[in-house]
Structure 1
Amino acid sequence: MNQTVRVDSLISSPAASFEQPFDMLHACHERMQRMVALLQRLREHMRTHGADEQARDAARDVLRYFERAAPQHHQDEELHVFPPLLAKGDPATRELVGRLQQEHLQMEEHWVVARRVLDAVAAGRLHALAAADEAALDAFSGLYAGHIAAEEQVVYPAAVALLDAGAVQAMGKEMAQRRDAA
């Protein structure tokens, strides 16, 4: 971790806006991938440097992202992307959406444990990761690669094909309003 990555600089992307909600969803996936990569770099860093200030900052960045932005992203999908596919998608797509919904629940469950580890690192209470800590972080981060690929390669294109311009506009408006309310 030669340079500290601040999550604040990753929260908004000038190329993505709520006027194009699927672009926003893709941008969120890019940020998730960066946070998962930061989590991996944090783990490697701690093996040689322990929970120094750089490690604590990285832990805080990962915590902040997965506490604030990631739940909003999952809610976007649960409210706007998955329902039309479950109602009108082909059987294979409906089955995939069901799997992705289960993975959202697994992500939430694994986050509870991963958050405890990261909280301890961020607070300076945990100076080295035990095997159980590594396993908790692996279980959490390991869910993302295949999940994101399935959404981007299959689910998002299928949803775009089903949604008319008015539905996409309403989706973007609701996503923006929910974030302003938060």
Structure 2
Amino acid sequence: MPSSIKLLRRGLLMLCLPLCPAIGQAGDYAARIEYADLAYIDNGYTVEAHIDYRLSPMAKEALHKGVPLAWNVSLELRQPGWLWDSVIYQRKLAYSLQFHALLNQYAVQTPSAHSEMFLTLSAALNFMASVHDSSPIPADLLQPGKPYLLAVQTQFNREFLPIPLRPLAYLDHRWFLSSTWQTWPIQK
């Protein structure tokens, strides 16, 4: 009996092995954080970041068939430590992109629940590329002369997809539209 279980496990492993490279790779369609910085405003700091969203042909096809696409942009202000960094501020910003066939326009929903309409997909993605955070980071969190790190990541929200499409989005590399964490040093 134990040898048949081993054979079954080995057989399953051999069947799943070809899927492993596709599961682990981000592919050519992963979003990229191109830069991020803090800008001082009246009562604190605001994040200025630029994200390059690149959609796979499969994601574009789904979008044009009425499937909304969503991303969560995570922002963290970290203070470097000896063993690990401590997070002193974090925020998540939700964006969604949808194509309206009757209007032949793209709608971008921003974190402040504001919607913008665009005639082209590239215009909509260019608008999403700039982070729109209306709540500033309090100025008293940053002490002058201390080093800080600004970390930014964008995560494609597969749970926003229709249920029949979700399993494919978890397995197919053409749906890996997230970025990795990127950090930039901040000196205030």
More strand as a share of residues: 2
Higher Rg? 2
Structure possessing the higher relative contact order (Cα contacts under 8 Å, 6 or more residues apart): 1
